[in-house]
Structure 1
């Protein structure tokens, strides 16, 4: 038995990928390696991988892909233009090189030779152009990620040129995710391809063995250009919603890799399973959305927001509610990423008395009342949040929201604050998600400190990773010091694998792909 815990050390300027809502609800994530010589097996073999996801894919249409646990399927079927390795570093994939113009408004990618779709058709620049044009013009989860792309050209069979309306710091990461997949233009519009697509990836769906909605069986393509990077001849993805059922399936041998609760991980470790713990895959955040005081005027005062940050014993929350499977934090950014600043976690000490004094200074000695949505995400944390805020004089009423309305409630602009567990995204996207005018967690389009607005404008168009990382850290400092939100914890994930299977991710890359698994000796 081997137990491996990945730490929260700062790892420099690393770009990370995103979760879908399904992964937010289960806080499970994993990463992917990059080149054919990376971890996960240097040569192809006949091993098999069987793992579970919590929801079936609604579609495998390239323009409609979701970046949650469903990505185990589509990252196996499709190649992306670029990829992120297990350390979150951007790497070549279908595109073997890329280069920006001096003004950052033109991105030129060179495709590698010899790629084919599972149909046998060659992968050409025209196929990439057709897929990207379709994705950027089709309403769906991926359209906005190509918003800066004005047109796509294919001047020859191996060159793709993206013409941009303005530089986009998120574009390369997006091309390593669902927005960068390559579909076969000959079949991409076919109705049958929605759940049985033709891609150029390392696996194809086994139609006979697959039971849609229940079990998806992927068979490796031995003619794939990067076949040596995939040690598993067969990958079976089962839809299992209940964690206890996953735990049982691991014990019976139905699965050889799965995410479990921390106590279940300890039990499996005693039975000889390998256990790998990832400290941070999602952030639990008390979103202080109404920072302009539209619904609750008190929230416009930074002293009130600072007091709220002082109301929570974050370490205790991790210990008791997460059973130690996570980390306390005061930041919204991935601790493995380029925006993270370790010292910012010391900004607000747990100090209810000090918080009450700040509220009194702001004119709220008697506290105030707020209404928050009670969602499937918040329910387990509501007693703790209610008590912590009550201890400083803020009285919370929870308004029930049906599970299917969770996202709409969060984005409604009805509630001054919401508790949300958000899968860790690439830092520029995390920033926009929380503070851009159209950000999902910014329903009031609240006024921001001028310094943050200026930094966000610079970040949005900065294509140099080092410069962008410096700007993101500055933005992070402004966010924390002004208490623009109240992050409480990072939720972690515990992976259990059987002997011979190794989980390789550490949270740097949160895109779900079979490249996060390898064959161990």
Structure 2
């Protein structure tokens, strides 16, 4: 399906469903918001879908956060300090921090939260970032000390993640994490009707101060064409958009404003090196050489983005043209296939999620066409997001079209996939001594210039071994009525600044 046809289909769908019936009116102090993909769960330590993280970051808080410049700023913690040898990290908590049940956030809650993350039985998404922790001490209610096995330069960056949110120790003990949401963030979850609506109300005890609105009412609309239609008629104040085809229409609307910011997340074709013939290096390299990344970007995302290597953060990113086979070379790809014994090609299935991202089907179709030129016959299998995430986490695929989150530090971004103890190693299905060693070196090194050299080598090795084929980075889009003030777009795609948004009369 072409991008143009995809957009026309969405507009037809919206008209048939009648968007006016899908968005309810709310009090003037309530921000009426919409998105097309709902959260898949409420456990902040386990959720990996973007839609889940965007909801949970409004309810929960980590120890520290990132600002719009990717600098670390206070969250639940007011201050932090590494010891001289780098083996202790001490936090002083904000004494005003309270959970939404009225209880103060204490060092016992921080200790219990990180012990839960480190417990393999939890299945925490961020666990691999904390394997240097050998002990957690709580000398008083407002102080937490992390004892580390080794200096760990990126651990503080890892702690900014929503997957590292602090939850009440009492809720952990009760086994209710994921069944209800009790955080310390700007909003409380009052109601969740999956795939229909979320109702958030202001947390009056939020340590961050008064929120700009009394609440947020989020409607899950059938597609982003429906969202744009609802914004045109003034029924939605603010919307999260993922489809560049829809986002690029917003500037044509006089009453609307588009927020567009480059993000660290990356579009990627994930190969499964545990399955034949992707276990052959030459086959993986052939696939990489056969892909025209710019054509995928132009067709699926209207050119809204740029071709990328594995490292998407500006401080560490390389020129993609310097990486293995980033200039398409079909003849080289055919030779690699023949050298591997697959001159006649093979058949494989590629999975993709409906709705996250909206470009997934188009990306799969372009890749299907390009790989057919070297005899790789792709069967595209579209899945609902919940089914896709479960399948993806099990590594149960030949290939997968994915949009994966980026991080400001290469170690926190990739150690969960490419180290032998990584908690998402079953997704990558690829263990490599060189990659593992380079990541461990980058983790322990504190000199910024030396870290850049280490991770440049890591990126080069990863691109050459081609367990995945990195495609492009795009933009994060939100749209708002012009009376919405105070929203700050983030390179991480975070919506956290909605805590301070106001509605001007």
What is the TM-score of this pair, normalised by structure 2?
0.77
| Residue 478 of structure 2 is aligned to residue 495 of structure 1 | yes
- Could you tell me which of 226, 233, 244 is aligned with 1:245? 226
Contact 1:66 1:178 in 2 (8 A): no
CA gap of 1:219–1:257, structure 2 versus 1, over 3 A, is same
- Could you tell me which of 334, 340, 349 is aligned with 2:317? 340
| Residue 85 of structure 2 is aligned to residue 100 of structure 1 | no
* CA-to-aligned-CA distance 1:257-313 (integer Å, 9 cap, x gap): 2134334334332222111223445322223432x8x62278323xx5444333222
CA gap of 1:124–1:421, structure 2 versus 1, over 3 A, is closer
**Residue matched to 1:350:** 328
Task: List aligned pairs for 1:316-327, cutoff 5 A.
Answer: 316-327=295-306
Structure-2 separation of matches of 1:174 and 1:510 = 16
Task: List aligned pairs for 1:315-464, cutoff 5 A.
Answer: 315-329=294-308, 331-334=309-312, 336-344=313-321, 348-357=326-335, 359=337, 362=339, 366-376=343-353, 379-391=361-373, 393-398=374-379, 400=381, 403=384, 405-407=387-389, 409-410=391-392, 417-425=399-407, 427-437=410-420, 438=422, 440=424, 445-446=429-430, 448=432, 451-462=434-445
Structure-1 separation of matches of 2:418 and 2:237 = 40
CA gap of 1:371–1:92, structure 2 versus 1, over 3 A, is same
Contact 2:133 2:147 in 1 (8 A): yes
**Residue matched to 1:181:** 165
RMSD: 3.7
**Residue matched to 1:18:** none
Structure-2 separation of matches of 1:270 and 1:340 = 34
Q: Displacement, 1:235? A: 2.4
* CA-to-aligned-CA distance 1:197-227 (integer Å, 9 cap, x gap): 443322334x4xx453333333334553322
CA gap of 1:190–1:305, structure 2 versus 1, over 3 A, is closer
For these two proteins, the number of residue pairs brought into alignment is 463
Contact 1:168 1:460 in 2 (8 A): yes
CA gap of 1:78–1:332, structure 2 versus 1, over 3 A, is same
Task: List aligned pairs for 1:220-299, cutoff 5 A.
Answer: 220-227=202-209, 230-260=211-241, 261-272=243-254, 273-280=256-263, 282-290=265-273, 295-296=276-277, 299=280
SS of the residue 2:366 aligns to? helix
CA gap of 1:503–1:70, structure 2 versus 1, over 3 A, is farther
Contact 2:364 2:380 in 1 (8 A): no
**Residue matched to 1:26:** none
Structure-1 separation of matches of 2:278 and 2:171 = 54
SS of the residue 2:193 aligns to? coil
Contact 1:85 1:91 in 2 (8 A): yes
Contact 2:34 2:227 in 1 (8 A): yes
CA gap of 1:50–1:66, structure 2 versus 1, over 3 A, is farther
Contact 1:87 1:509 in 2 (8 A): no
* CA-to-aligned-CA distance 1:153-210 (integer Å, 9 cap, x gap): 21012210122345545532332223442334455555777555443322334x4xx4
Segments of 5+ residues of structure 2 without an aligned counterpart are 1-27, 355-359
Q: Which moved more, 1:486-495 or 1:89-98?
A: 486-495
**Residue matched to 1:202:** 186
**Residue matched to 2:25:** none
**Residue matched to 2:5:** none
SS of the residue 1:494 aligns to? strand
Structure-1 separation of matches of 2:364 and 2:478 = 27
CA gap of 1:464–1:85, structure 2 versus 1, over 3 A, is farther
* CA-to-aligned-CA distance 1:371-402 (integer Å, 9 cap, x gap): 233443664334322321232x2332427475
Segments of 5+ residues of structure 1 without an aligned counterpart are 1-45
CA gap of 1:147–1:179, structure 2 versus 1, over 3 A, is farther
Structure-1 separation of matches of 2:319 and 2:499 = 26
Structure-2 separation of matches of 1:447 and 1:64 = 23
Q: Which moved more, 1:138-147 or 1:247-256?
A: 138-147
Contact 1:132 1:179 in 2 (8 A): no
CA gap of 1:131–1:300, structure 2 versus 1, over 3 A, is closer
Contact 1:80 1:93 in 2 (8 A): yes
- Could you tell me which of 252, 269, 293 is aligned with 1:314? 293
**Residue matched to 1:11:** none
**Residue matched to 1:159:** 143
Q: Displacement, 1:464? A: 6.1
